[in-house]
Amino acid sequence: MLYVPTMLDWKQLPRPIVALAPMADMTDLPFCLICKEHGAPLVFREMVSSEAVVRGNAKTLDMAKFDEAERPIIQQIFGSNPFVMAEAANIIEERYHPDGIDINMGCPVYNIVSNFNGASLIRDHDRAAAIVRAVKKAVSIPVSVKTRLGWSRDTDCLEFVKVIEDAGANLISMHGRTKEQGYSGKADWKSVGKARARTSLPFLVNGDIVNVETARSALAESGADGMLIGRGALGNPWFFCEIRAAFDGTISFTKPTIEERVKVALRHAKLHAERYGERGLVKLRKHLPYYFKKDLKSDYPWIDIMELRAKLVRISTLEELEAVLRDLPYSAPRE
């Protein structure tokens, strides 16, 4: 059946906009589904290489596949060649029909910026604008840009957001650190706000949003229309329901119990096995400790959380994971 997309209109979405941020090697199909099942209104998929898409690389194209339950879904791409980026966006739209294309202009990782991708584009306004214009012309869906405060200065973004807006982007999201900071230090939401004030586009703030308090502060200090939640959602898909409950009185939130954490971790594991085969459980190891963070010790002092986490990063099969989690004592032992 021919897919007829429902056009995503960033300007008309209820405020605050709440979405799962694109995270390399993290926001794949299984995790995006888990987040959608627990209240994420929107999800941004992990970035894929435009060069690999255009070459027809099977692994890369498979990364862009998604489940209909993930909608609305935005596929992020990266690259430095406007023509290749445009062709890749067109291939992804025609093959998979996502609800939007996001252009990575913020990744600080060396092997990305060394090839003039990601955050390198903040220093090349002409190339960045050409990429946005080319992608916009190549697709019929909204085009957004994810970037940072700058390369080395937190003022680099002030002119850059105008360049992106003038090139025709539909949305800007901004991480509150420079490329040189990487993920160190604290996200500077006030500096994000200075960039936000320079554009009329819908704008999302990103970085260090890990609870309701930081979500409120990020929005207040940045003046953004919404937020991208990244590491705060790892092992905590309930965070989306919690955020929405804090801003929308029609939704309630209850802190997940250890039983619920086990249930969702196992659901995540089964999705991984379906998506990647039995070896998918090795790929899941990086997610599992997040479901059982150290601060659970205060609620469940009788569980050795550190020993549990150590076991989780060694599992290789679904059966091993089930065995580790099966015997967890949910209630305090009787004296």
pLDDT tens column, 136-175: 999 999 999 999 999 999 999 999 999 999 999 999 999 9
pLDDT tops 90 at residue 207: yes
**Beta-bridge partners for 76:** 102
Give tens-digit pLDDT for 54-86: 999 999 999 999 999 999 999 999 999 999 999
Residue 59 makes CB contacts below 8 A (sequence gap 6+) with: 52
Give tens-digit pLDDT for 9-66: 999 999 999 999 999 999 999 999 999 999 999 999 999 999 999 999 999 999 999 9
87 found inside a domain: yes
Q: Which domain holds residue 296?
A: 258-326
Confidence (pLDDT) at 6? 59
DSSP state of 225: S
Confidence (pLDDT) at 235? 97
Q: How many CB atoms lie within 10 A of CB 204?
A: 30
- 247, 281, 302: which is the final residue of a domain? 247
**Beta-bridge partners for 44:** 74
* Residue 107 and residue 225 share a domain: yes
Q: Say how many domains are in the chain.
A: 2
Confidence (pLDDT) at 335? 61
pLDDT tops 70 at residue 89: yes
4 found inside a domain: no
Confidence (pLDDT) at 1? 31
* Residue 136 and residue 233 share a domain: yes
Confidence (pLDDT) at 273? 95
Distance CA 328, CA 37 (A): 24
201 found inside a domain: yes
Residue 71 makes CB contacts below 8 A (sequence gap 6+) with: 99
191 found inside a domain: yes
**Residue pair 138/87 in contact by the 8 Å Cβ criterion:** yes
* Residue 154 and residue 27 share a domain: yes
* Residue 55 and residue 136 share a domain: yes
pLDDT tops 90 at residue 249: no
Distance CA 32, CA 216 (A): 24
**Residue pair 122/80 in contact by the 8 Å Cβ criterion:** no
pLDDT tops 60 at residue 196: yes
* Residue 275 and residue 195 share a domain: no
SS3 at position 109: coil
pLDDT tops 60 at residue 3: no
- 247, 268, 301: which is the final residue of a domain? 247
DSSP state of 318: H
* Residue 274 and residue 243 share a domain: no
Residue 208: CATH number of its domain: 3.20.20.70
Confidence (pLDDT) at 216? 97
* Residue 33 and residue 180 share a domain: yes
- 193, 213, 247: which is the final residue of a domain? 247
* Residue 268 and residue 234 share a domain: no
Give tens-digit pLDDT for 259-308: 999 999 999 999 999 999 978 899 999 999 999 999 899 999 999 999 99
Distance CA 241, CA 253 (A): 6
HSE of 199, CA atoms in CB hemisphere, 13 A: 29
Confidence (pLDDT) at 185? 92
Confidence (pLDDT) at 2? 36
147 found inside a domain: yes
* Residue 267 and residue 238 share a domain: no
What positions carry a catalytic annotation?
Answer: 107
SS3 at position 94: helix
303 found inside a domain: yes
pLDDT tops 90 at residue 233: yes
* Residue 216 and residue 276 share a domain: no
253 found inside a domain: no
Q: What is the pTM of this model?
A: 0.95
* Residue 113 and residue 38 share a domain: yes
Which two three-digit tokens encode residue 69? 């339950």
7 found inside a domain: no
b/e code 146-175 from CB counts within 10 Å (16+ = b): bbbbbbeebebbbebbebbbebebbbbbbb
SS3 at position 144: strand
* Residue 168 and residue 69 share a domain: yes
Confidence (pLDDT) at 278? 78
| Ranges 60-74, 82-96, 241-255, 305-319: which has the least confidence | 241-255
pLDDT tops 60 at residue 226: yes
Q: Torsion angle, CA of 69/74/75/79, rounded to 10 degrees?
A: -170
